[in-house]
């Protein structure tokens, strides 16, 4: 499953944060980062690290993620981990499920250590809302089932969620490749698709489906 059928897929880093809450503007911090690098449709790198946010994590977050305060007690600081992660993403384009959430935390954590990044973000959730319009909802776990992608790990851990988002991303590239034989610049393609009105994508899919009959 790690090799997709896209011949000219460009390099992206798919990432996922676990955090103390929903908003860095309200003081929430990252507690884990997981990421997968895809080159030519193949996974060529992984990054995973717990980080100590300097504050206690709520019991809700401990239950939600399985990441406990004792696990974070001896973890390296957010700054130390984020320096390493800034080196890992290395200017590549970035993908996340509900990317606006992860982008806010990436911006906040890198801002605290005066680091940045030059790649652009694309959102797998916005693409999935267009390509998988019949899915019961567009949570990551639901989409994995809807796309018949095998899963046997625990959601809500950063590396596993980034691995599943990677498989979803490659699956959606596969849909575009099979339906429209489009394989050049797939990041840009799906980034553009995420901004295309859902109704327009629905008509495109219906037309493609009827042409195949």
Partner DNA sequence: TGCCAGGCCCTCTTTAGGGCCTT
- Residues near DNA (CB under 7 A) are 16-19, 21-23, 25-26, 61, 64-65, 97-98, 100-101, 104, 125-126, 129, 137-141, 156, 161, 194-195, 197-199
Task: Please say which residue, 104 or 115, places its beta carbon nearer to DNA.
Answer: 104
Rounded to a whole number of angstroms, the minimum distance from the CB of residue 206 to DNA is: 15
CA distances (Å), origin 144, targets 88, 104, 148, 172, 191: 26, 24, 6, 11, 20
| Residue entry with tokens 């980080």 | 51
Rounded to a whole number of angstroms, the minimum distance from the CB of residue 141 to DNA is: 7
H helix or E strand, kind and range, residue 83: helix 78-89
Task: Please say which residue, 72 or 125, places its beta carbon nearer to DNA.
Answer: 125
Rounded to a whole number of angstroms, the minimum distance from the CB of residue 162 to DNA is: 9
Task: Please say which residue, 3 or 195, places its beta carbon nearer to DNA.
Answer: 195
Residue 135 phi, psi dihedral angles, 5° rounding: -65, 140
Task: Please say which residue, 49 or 194, places its beta carbon nearer to DNA.
Answer: 194
Residue 121 phi, psi dihedral angles, 5° rounding: -95, 145
Rounded to a whole number of angstroms, the minimum distance from the CB of residue 137 to DNA is: 3
Rounded to a whole number of angstroms, the minimum distance from the CB of residue 213 to DNA is: 25
Of 104, 100, 105, the closest CA to residue 122 belongs to 100
Residues 6+ positions from 56 with CB-CB distance below 8 Å: 69
Task: Please say which residue, 134 or 211, places its beta carbon nearer to DNA.
Answer: 134
Rounded to a whole number of angstroms, the minimum distance from the CB of residue 7 to DNA is: 28
**Region class of 88: left (phi > 0), else alpha (psi between -120 and 50), else beta:** alpha
Reduced to 3 states (helix: H, G, I; strand: E, B; else coil), residue 85 is helix
Task: Please say which residue, 88 or 160, places its beta carbon nearer to DNA.
Answer: 160
């Amino acid at each position: 499953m790690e090799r997709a059928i896209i011949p000219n897929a460009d390099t992206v880093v798919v990432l996922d944060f676990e955090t103390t809450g929903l908003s860095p503007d309200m003081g929430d911090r990252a507690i884990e980062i997981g990421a997968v690098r895809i080159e030519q449709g193949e996974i060529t790198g992984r990054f995973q690290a717990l980080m100590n946010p300097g504050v206690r994590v709520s019991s809700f977050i401990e239950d939600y993620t399985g990441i406990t305060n004792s696990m974070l007690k001896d973890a390296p600081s957010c700054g130390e981990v984020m320096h390493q992660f800034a080196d890992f993403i290395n200017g590549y384009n970035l993908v996340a499920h509900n990317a606006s959430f992860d982008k806010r935390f990436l911006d906040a954590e890198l801002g605290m250590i005066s680091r940045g990044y030059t790649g652009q973000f694309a959102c797998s959730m916005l693409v999935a809302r267009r390509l998988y319009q019949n899915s019961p909802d567009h949570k990551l776990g639901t989409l994995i089932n809807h796309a018949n992608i095998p899963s046997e790990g625990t959601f809500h851990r950063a590396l596993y969620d980034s691995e599943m988002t990677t498989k979803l991303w490659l699956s959606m590239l596969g849909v575009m490749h099979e339906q429209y034989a489009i394989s050049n610049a797939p990041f840009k393609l799906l980034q553009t698709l995420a901004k295309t009105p859902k109704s327009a994508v629905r008509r495109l899919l219906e037309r493609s489906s009827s042409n195949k009959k």
